[in-house]
Structure 1
Amino acid sequence: MQHSTIAAIATAPGQGGIAVVRLSGPESYLVAERVFTPANPKKTVAGAKGYTALFGRFCQAGECFDEGVALFFRAPHSYTGEDVVELSCHGGDAVARRLVEACIQAGAAPAGPGEYTRRALLNGKLSLTQAEAVMDLISAGGRQGAALANAALSGALARKIEARRQALTALQAHLTAWVDFPEEDVPALEQDHLKEELTAAAEELDGLIAGYGAGAVLREGVDCAIVGRPNAGKSTLLNLLAGFDRAIVTPVAGTTRDVVEQSVQLGEIRLNLFDTAGLRQTEDPIEAEGIRRSWRKLEEAGLILAVFDGAEDLSDEDRELARRCAGRPALALINKEDKPPRLDPAEIAPCFQKVISVSCKEESSRPLIEQGVSELLGTNRVDPHAASLSGQRQLAAAVRARDALREALSAIEMGFGLDAISVCMDDALAALCDLTGENASEAVINEVFERFCVGK
C-alpha cells in the first residue's frame, strides 16, 4: 500500500510540550493543506519547499482547534523517501488524536506499526539492518546501547558485511570462471590467497558472533534472579538497586514467598530483577512453592545475583546454591560486610566468576555491583561505536556464513576440488545477503517490523 498517504502520531503518548503527527505519501501536501492554514496569507502549503517550516492553525470541519508548526520534506529527501509533512501541535492526547482524525478525514489512512520505517526500507533509504537499528535506538535504556544502535543505523554493520561480501564475490567469480570455462585459460586462484581471504572473513564473523551477547544485554537488558537463603539480604538488595522500598524487609525468615519483579537501570544495563523466596527446607506448602519458583528463576535467568550472609557460616542451602551457579553467569555477593565475618569466600569462589563483599544496606555497594555485573557480562569490553549484530535473525545469518566459510577452509585442507569450495562459498554469500537483508523475503520483513510501534 505504498501508494497511499498515511498518518499517525510520531511522539510518545501522554502530556508534553508538543506532539508530532506525521504524514507520508504522495498526497501528504494535499492532506496537510486541508487541515493546516498558514498564519502568513502569502504562504501556501502547496508552495512550501522541502526543509522549510510554516506556522499556522489546525482546523477540522471549519473549526480551528490548535496552532502549531508544519515541517515539509519533499521526496526523495525525507525519512521515508516520499513527500512527508510533520505537524507539531501542543502536546496531549486529545489534541494529537483530533489532528490525526482530521488528517484521516482529509484523505490519509492510519499508519500501521513501523510503516514509516518499512517505507524507508522499501524506498532504499535504509537497509534491513538499519531498519532494525531504528527500533533498537528507540528502546535503548543506556548510552552504550543507544550508541550501538546509532552505529548500526549509520550503517556500520552493513558496511562491514558489504566489504567482506564484495571480496568473497570477487573470489567466487574467479572460481566460477575457472571451473566453468577451462577453455578460456583463466588462471587458477592461488591457494594461499584463497585461504587468507576465507580465514579473514571467518574471523571477522567470529568477532561479531562473540560480541553478540554483551551487545544484546546493552540493547535489550537481561533477566536477573536474586537468590539466596532467608535473611541473606535479597530484598534489601532489590531495594538498593531499585532506589526505593520495592520489597518488604523484615527479620522474619520466609517474608518473601513469591517472586517480586522490578525493572532497574544499573549503569548501562537494564536489569529485569526477580527477587525470589529464601532457599531453605520447609513444611509450609506455600513457602515450598515459592522456593520451587526460586530455583526455576535461577535456571531461566541470564544473570544471577547469589546473595550469601557473610555473618553466618556456610549452610547446606548455600552450598547447593553455589553448586547450581557453577558455569552460569552468576555473581556472588557476600552481604553484611559491616558485621564480623564468618563465611569464607574461598569455599564458594570456585563456583563463581566473581565474588564481591558488600553491604546491601549501603549505597556505596551499588557501584561495586555495577562494575561486577559489567565485567561478568562483558559489557565493559564493548566498543559502542563498532559494528555489532542485533537480534536472533542477524546472529543466525552470521553463524551460517561463518560455518560455510569454515567448511570451505576444511575442503581446502582435505584436498577437495575447487567446485566443492565454490559450493561452500555460495552458501556463505547467501547467508551474508540474508544478514544485510538483500535476500529478505516478505515474511522476514514482517517479522522484523512486528516489534515496531505505530508512528515509527
Structure 2
Amino acid sequence: MEHSTIAAIATAPGAGGIAVVRLSGPESYAVAAKVFCPANPAKRVEEAKGYTALFGHFMEGEEAFDEGVALFFRAPHSYTGEDVVELSCHGGSAVARRLVESCIAAGAAPAAPGEYTRRAFLNGKLGLTQAEAVMDLISADGRQGAALANASLNGALAKKIGAEKDALTALQAHLTAWVDFPEEDVPALEDAQLVSTLTAVKGELDTLIRNYDAGAVLREGVDCAIVGRPNAGKSTLLNLLAGFDRAIVTPVAGTTRDVVEQAVRLGDIRLNLFDTAGLRETEDAIEAEGIRRSWKKLDEAGLILAVFDGSEPLIREDLALAQRCAGRPAIALVNKVDKPTQFDAEIIAGDFAMVLPVCCQEEGSRRVITAAVARLLGTNNIDPHAASLSGQRQLAAATRARDAVAGALDAVSGGFGLDAVSVCVDDALDALCDLTGENASENVINEVFERFCVGK
C-alpha cells in the first residue's frame, strides 16, 4: 500500500482562494503530467526539479477546466519522503473534487486518513510523537495550544524522552556488565549514584505527567458546566463570556429549561460552555428533566462554574450544589456584588478551589474569571515551548516508565539487589521506546493515524 501513489485534497472543504490537491508516491510526476499542462510548452512535468513551480492548466482528458500552479518535490526531500506534487487550483469543492477525480483516473489511489503523515513516519521523516503533533497543530485553535503542538513537531518531546533513555541506557549497561560478567573487574554501582540517576529521570517524567492535563486543556479545550439555582445569573454569565446575548435572561425562574451550549475563548483556553437549568425543586416535568440534565453536565464537566446569588441568603439548594462540587475542579462565583451582600460565602468555601465575588454584567468580571480558570487548570504555569505529552497513548507510556523507575528506586532502598533494579530499568526503557514509537506495532500505528483527516 505504501508503494502506491495517492491523491487527496489537502485543504479544508468549502469556498476559498485556492485548494490544494496533493500527490505522493513513485508515480506522482507521471500522474501530474496527465492532469497538468504547463503554460510554457518548453517545460515538461516529468523533468521538473524539486522545490520548483510551474504555472499551467488542469486537464481532464483534452478539456482544460482550471488554471493554477504545480509545486514539485523530489524524494527524499519532501514531507512524505516520496516524490510529491502539490496542485493548487481555484478554491471551491467542485473544482478540487474534479481535480482529484482526474488524478485517480490517471492512476492515483485515494489517500486514507493520515496516510501522508503515516508515510512520513514510515520513511523516517518524522518520529511517532512528531506525527501525533501534526494533528494537534491542525486542531489547535489557541496560540498556546498551537505552540505546544509546534514544540512537539520540532522534536521537543522526542529530545526530552531521548535524554531520559540515554541516562537509563548508560545505567543499564553498567548494571548488565556487573550482573552478567561477575568474573570481570566491573566496579559495582554505588547506591547513591543509582538513586541520583533514577531520581532525576523520575523527576522529569513526573513533570511531564503532572502537566499533561493542563497541556490537554490548551490543545483541546475543556467542557465547562455553569450551574446554580434559578436567577443566580448563570445565563448572564454565559452571555458575558460569549461576548453576546447567547442565552435568554429574564427574572422569571425556570426560563432556561435545557442545556444551552456555546464555545468561547477565555484567554488561552477554549471553554465549551454549558448553561444549565436552575437547580430547584419543581413539579414541572419539562423543567425537572432540564434539572436532571444539569446535574449530569456537572458530573461530566472538566470545569464547573457554580453561580450563587450574593444578594440573597444561602439556602438548602446552595448547600446541596456546594457539596456536589466538593473535590471537583470548581469555582464558586458569588454574583451581584453590585448589590448589598447577604450571602455567607464562608459556609461553602471549603467545597471549592476558589470563591470569587463577581458581577456577571460587568466586563471586569470576565478578566477575573479568566485568570482564576487559568490558575485552577494549571495553564498559567505551562511553558508553550517545552516538551509535553499529548494523548492517552503517550500518557500511558510515560506513566508506565515512571512507575518502573519508581520500582527501581524501591528495589534499591529495599536492598533487593542490582538484578531486580535491572529488570525495572528494562521495563522503563521498553515503555519509553513505546512512547517514541521505536517499539510501535502495526496496531499502535493504525490507532495513531486513524484520527487524522484525509489529505494530511
Instruction: Sort the TM-score into its range (normalised by shorter chain).
Output: over 0.9
* Partner of residue 242, structure 1: 242
Distance 1:364 1:36 in 2: 57
Distance 1:88 1:391 in 2: 33
Unmatched tracts of structure 1, length 5 or more: none
* Partner of residue 319, structure 1: 319
* Partner of residue 90, structure 2: 90
Distance 1:77 1:188 in 2: 48
* Partner of residue 206, structure 2: 206
Residue 355 of structure 1 aligns to a residue whose secondary structure is strand
Normalised to the residue count of structure 1, the TM-score between the two structures is: 0.98
Residue 99 of structure 2 aligns to a residue whose secondary structure is helix
Distance 2:129 2:342 in 1: 53
Distance 1:453 1:53 in 2: 26
* Partner of residue 161, structure 1: 161
Does residue 369 (structure 1) correspond to residue 373 (structure 2)? The answer is: no
Does residue 176 (structure 1) correspond to residue 176 (structure 2)? The answer is: yes
Is the Cα contact below 8 Å between 1:21 and 1:96 reproduced in 2? Answer: yes
Normalised to the residue count of structure 2, the TM-score between the two structures is: 0.98
**What are the superposed Cα offsets for residues 267-318 of structure 1, whole Å, 9 maximum, x if unpaired?**
2111111111101111222222221221121111100000111111111111
Distance 1:355 1:329 in 2: 12
Distance 1:82 1:395 in 2: 31
Is the Cα contact below 8 Å between 1:141 and 1:265 reproduced in 2? Answer: no
Does residue 10 (structure 1) correspond to residue 10 (structure 2)? The answer is: yes
* Partner of residue 261, structure 1: 261
Distance 1:29 1:187 in 2: 60
**What are the superposed Cα offsets for residues 206-228 of structure 1, whole Å, 9 maximum, x if unpaired?**
00010001001001111110000
Residue 66 of structure 2 aligns to a residue whose secondary structure is strand
* Partner of residue 101, structure 1: 101
Q: CA deviation at 1:168?
A: 0.8
Distance 1:367 1:7 in 2: 47
Counting only pairs closer than 5 Å after superposition, residues 14-413 of structure 1 correspond to structure 2 as 14-413=14-413
Is the Cα contact below 8 Å between 1:19 and 1:91 reproduced in 2? Answer: yes
Distance 1:171 1:375 in 2: 38
Residue 232 of structure 2 aligns to a residue whose secondary structure is coil
Q: Report the RMSD for the aligned CA atoms in angstroms.
A: 1.1
Distance 2:65 2:94 in 1: 11
Is the Cα contact below 8 Å between 1:29 and 1:45 reproduced in 2? Answer: yes
Q: CA deviation at 1:185?
A: 2.2
* Partner of residue 447, structure 2: 447
Q: CA deviation at 1:338?
A: 2.2
In structure 2, what residue type is equivalent to 1:159? K
Residue 31 of structure 2 aligns to a residue whose secondary structure is helix
Q: CA deviation at 1:248?
A: 1.8
**What are the superposed Cα offsets for residues 318-337 of structure 1, whole Å, 9 maximum, x if unpaired?**
11111221221111111122
In structure 2, what residue type is equivalent to 1:164? E
> Quick one: percent identity of the two aligned structures?
79
Distance 1:75 1:68 in 2: 23
Q: Judge which range, 13-22 or 42-51, deviates more.
A: 42-51
Q: Judge which range, 149-158 or 441-450, deviates more.
A: 441-450
Is the Cα contact below 8 Å between 1:140 and 1:146 reproduced in 2? Answer: yes
Q: Judge which range, 428-437 or 287-296, deviates more.
A: 287-296
In structure 1, what residue type is equivalent to 2:345? P
Q: CA deviation at 1:100?
A: 0.5
